[in-house]
A and B are shown apart, each in its own frame.
Chain A
């Protein structure tokens, strides 16, 4: 295996993981862009999506695989998007006029609740959850998409799973860009992000637009959880924290509030993780990623694509 082949392999792994991170990062960046809230519960929302995906797979039993995939990609985003919207409606909406710390602390509380739901969900007496024994243990996600190499090379693996990641995520990102740039609802979203008061004066229902943002961000996290589960085949109730941190790092790296920035940041973090695993050491990868985060924030707090923020009087 030549050095180039090793690098190419890491590139594929890094980009596939990076696309998943990017999907989660989009949810962070959209919510931050519109109400300046670091949505701490987003990673755990992603985790709950994976648990729903596993439940669906368990309930579907022996249905044909393409049908199961379709169901997963329809129901999971609907669930996570709806849940995210509901949380905004019940918790954050009441805190809009409050201090900036209040919604953040509320989000930490929501993240705790999600974490707890994940733990209890793992104890559901279903076959796929190990009949409810050892609720906290990692769960095996069935291999629905094959691991077979699509390339003829023996040293570089590009599997059907990698293909799935790109087939699902790239059109989704294009659709999101179109939605935000071209539709009326997307325009309203950008207006609210720029200036809430002015948007309200123009007749935009600000609360509804914020709700939509939570819905779409959560839906993207739901797609990410399906793709992640199919790609990695293991899920556990504490995985939301790690995934959320990576995604948040990605969002900050790309410039928080910027959609292309989140995707770019996600790819960078995916590649950085893969290269660190290969060339440094797996156990130092987290330190490496967080060092990137700290360095970016210290030297270029607006990220790669973010706009400069000036403290207002």
Chain B
């Protein structure tokens, strides 16, 4: 028996008007290549203007492609309008 723990970014989604990038990491245990039990997930969302320096390069590339300056400006204005409501 050879058990190993595997964790990897298994899903990247771009959603919404402001191109939020949803990242899902899956973690599972393999016994000689066969998944034992189920996968567990951990998620986070990258919004426009978020720091992505700690993200994988492929995620950084996606963010760079979809979070254009226009998107960043629009999202900042959206948050500002929200803060100004109160």
The answer on A and B forming one complex is no
